[in-house]
Amino acid sequence: MKISIIYVLGFVYLIGDIVDCQPDDQINLIKLACARNPTLGICEDLRNRRSSGSDLITPLPLPPGADRKAHDTPTTTTQSRKPYPHLTPEQSYVLQTKCARVSHLVRKHCKPGKVSATNAGRCAAFFRDCSRFISKADPLGAIANSFDSAVNVNIANVDVKGIPYYPMNEEGAVGVGLGLGVPFGSWGGGFSSSVGVRDYWHSDQEAGANWYDGKYGYKNHWNVPLVQSLGIEGGQHNTVSFPLHGKDAGNLKVDNGYGVGPYYQQNDHVGVNVKEGNVKHTFGVGVPMVGVGVETGQAVAFPGLDVWERALG
């Protein structure tokens, strides 16, 4: 009993010292207390801090007269480190996750001209290993995404419920709906509409233009809800793609196609790749239900931008 009372009193005095001491001494005392008894309530914040990956710290100021330039200059060992070799997709995902976890600390402690001696190596390592995941500034993207809006109108929505002995649904209901939508923004604009008769028919169509993503065209889709599970649905698309960003930037693609559920699909495609220097035309017909398809095509090659860049050095 005496030992327990002494232990409790000692813990109370330790807590009192932690509250009254300076921040750095407070952290050290908390670490000491948690090392002796990890189940203490004050240890939860310390464990969360360690698990968050916050290895960047705010160092103490250098003493007066110290050579700041010498301390702020990365060492030769840090500069001579080589970047990681080619990573597998799984390794790349793990590294990207770790980079994102400490990015807010990097923004705080790795500002140009304000990197301390303690964090110089850490900042250099972050930019060496994580630069592949830092997206470059895209002024066109900033313009295209500056604002986005839409106007949606429910023109008609009529429901009749409780029809006696109506076998099509449990509610004994019939409904008709008609809606319109006009999305628009700094990226472009479009139009969409939908028409539906409950259980019997539903169709929607949309057309639009997005100059940044490079999507232009029209497509529609229809289905019969009562027998949609049997594949009674279809649609048509007539689209042009000419994106201004991403891996397909500058590539022209034109597609025209039609399909009826899993019974019949067709598509006519023309693609122009100015960078690689080729024009391709393909036409395909398939029956997805039985896994049968036929595709024919032609291709023409010409000196693309890659060839001219190598020739001009």
- Rounded to two decimals, the pTM is 0.55
pLDDT tens string 110-155: 877 778 888 888 888 888 888 877 766 567 777 877 788 899 999 9
The stretch 269-277 carries a mean pLDDT of 91
The answer to whether the CB of 72 falls within 8 A of the CB of 120 is yes
Work out the percent of the chain whose per-residue pLDDT is above 70: 75
Contact between residue 71 and residue 61 where contact means Cβ atoms under 8 Å apart: no
Q: Which residues have C-beta within 8 Å of that of residue 189, sequence separation ≥ 6?
A: 182, 183, 208, 209
264-273/278-287 β-pairing? antiparallel
Which helix (H) or strand (E) segment holds residue 141: the answer is: helix 139-144
Residue with the bigger pLDDT between 294 and 147: it is 294
Contact 164, 172 (CB under 8 A): yes
Mean pLDDT of the chain: 79
- Short-list 83, 75, 123, CA closest to 99: 123
Do residues 243 and 210 lie in contact, with contact meaning Cβ atoms separated by under 8 Å?
no
pLDDT at 81 (0 to 100): 44
**pLDDT at residue number 124:** 86
The token pair at 25 is 């001494």
Residue 145: name the closest of 187, 95, 174 by CA: 187
Contact status, residue 185 vs residue 209, Cβ threshold 8 Å: no
Which range, of 16-20, 125-129, 194-198, 213-217, averages the lowest pLDDT?
Answer: 16-20
Look at 280 and 312; give whichever has higher pLDDT: 280
- Point out which residues pair with 295 in neighbouring strands: 284
Bridge-based pairing of strands 252-260 and 174-185 is unpaired
Q: In the predicted model, is pLDDT for residue 265 greater than 80?
A: yes
Q: Which residues pair with 268 in a beta bridge?
A: 256, 283
Residue 32's SS3 state is helix
Residues 21-48 pLDDT 10s: 455 566 666 777 777 777 776 777 666 6
Q: List Cα–Cα distances, 110 to 71, 89, 119, 283, in angstroms.
A: 15, 28, 8, 54
**CA-based angle 176:178:180, to the nearest 5?**
165
Quote the pLDDT of residue 72: 45
pLDDT at residue 67, as a whole number: 47
